[in-house]
Amino acid sequence: MKIGTFVRATGIGLILLFAVAPILVLILAAFDEGRFFRFPPRGLSMRWFIAAFESAEYRASVTRSVVVASLATVISVGLGGLAALGLVRGRPPGQAYLEALILAPLALPLVVWAIAFLQVLSYSGLGGTLFGLILAHVIITLPIAMRVILATFTRIDPDLEAAARSLGATPVRAFLRTTLPLARGGIAGAAALSFLVSFNDVVVSTFVAGAGWVTFPVRLYAQLRGEGIDPITLAIGAMIVGVIIVGAIATELWPRRRGR
């Protein structure tokens, strides 16, 4: 019994360590004063964080990534949410096929899909535009958002809306007052996933973005292949991790003040 507990604790500890280790390496290395990526760091310094804020090029690429990811998130959660609602409550004929169709883009290797989509974009004259880039991101984030929200809606009793209607709420109001607040957690999760997938995407953006819309991960990848690791990117990475941790803690605390 004791030994079993010990083995299990060690196992869980090792798994967590492996999950967190790269992030720790990234953060520690970002504070190193050296001009090259090395681990463990030898002297602490904030110079790369300062350099990150001073580099117009990196600032612009991060901003671009945030803009693209935000728009892709809003669109995919909006449309994905509506699609999920239609699939769950509308019970259309061929529901399973419709669901599979929306998930289809995820079935191909992204590289293959991106090459094909690039052709579609250039035929329609959208190659190299922000709209084209966002469209590409939406097509890969929407299925994810839809799937998460679909699972959330499926768990919510449709009689809640029926009860609201029998109490005098129009169908839209019934949805807004019952299903939507109950689905908030799932929708937030879908938004977070969509944002991260879009924000971190290299493959699709590399093909679709064109010179005008180089996102942060694309910029990073180009840098890596050309000149090796730039410590500025480590600092930016560490800051992104910081933002995510703060965001995660905030959403953890969020539901507590909900209630009566």
Partner 1 sequence: MTYLVASGLQKAYGRTAVLSDVAFEVAQGEFICLLGPSGCGKSTLLRLLAGLIEPDDGRLMLAGEDLTRRPAWHRDIGLVFQNYALFPHLSVARNVAFGLEMRGLPKAEAKSRVAEALELVDLADYRDRLPSELSGGQQQRVAIARAIAVRPRLLLLDEPLSNLDALLRGTVRADLRDLHRRTGLTTIMVTHDQAEALSLADRVAVMSGGRIVQMGSPETIYASPDTTFVASFVGNPPANLLRLPPDGIPGWTPPPPLAAAIANAGSRPLVLALWPETLQVVERGHAHSIPATLRAVEFLGAERRAHLRLTDGQTLLAHPGEQGEGDVGVVLRGNGPLPTIFDAETGARLIQVAT
Nearer to partner 1, 178 or 215 (CB): 178
Residue closer to partner 1, measured from CB, 4 or 168: 168
256 belongs to the binding site for partner 1 (CB under 8 A): no
* 94 conformational bin, left if phi > 0, alpha if psi -120 to 50, beta if neither: left
- Smallest distance from partner 1 to CB 236, Å: 39
173 is an interface residue for partner 1 by CB under 8 A: yes
Among 74, 98, 177, 239, binds partner 1 (CB under 8 A): 177
On the question of a cis peptide bond just before residue 92, with omega within 30 degrees of 0, the verdict is no
Q: Output the smallest distance, CB 84 to partner 1, in A.
A: 19
Among 65, 73, 178, 215, binds partner 1 (CB under 8 A): 178
Task: Assess 182 for contact with partner 1 (CB under 8 A).
Answer: yes
Residue with smaller CB distance to partner 1, 92 or 242: 92
From 16-24, 58-66, 112-120, 178-186, span contacting partner 1 (CB under 8 A): 178-186
Q: Taking a C-beta distance cutoff of 8 angstroms, is the pair 31, 241 a contact?
A: no
Which residue lies nearer to partner 1 by CB, 188 or 196? 188
Q: Which of 125, 168, 226, 228 binds partner 1 (CB under 8 A)?
A: 168
Closest approach of partner 1 to the CB of residue 86, in Å: 19
23 makes contact with partner 1 (CB under 8 A): no
Provide the minimum distance between the beta carbon of 67 and partner 1 in the complex, in angstroms, as a whole number.
33
| Residue whose CB is less far from partner 1, 56 or 167 | 167
Query: Which positions touch partner 1 (CB under 8 A)?
Result: 157, 159-160, 162-171, 173-174, 177-178, 181-182, 258-260
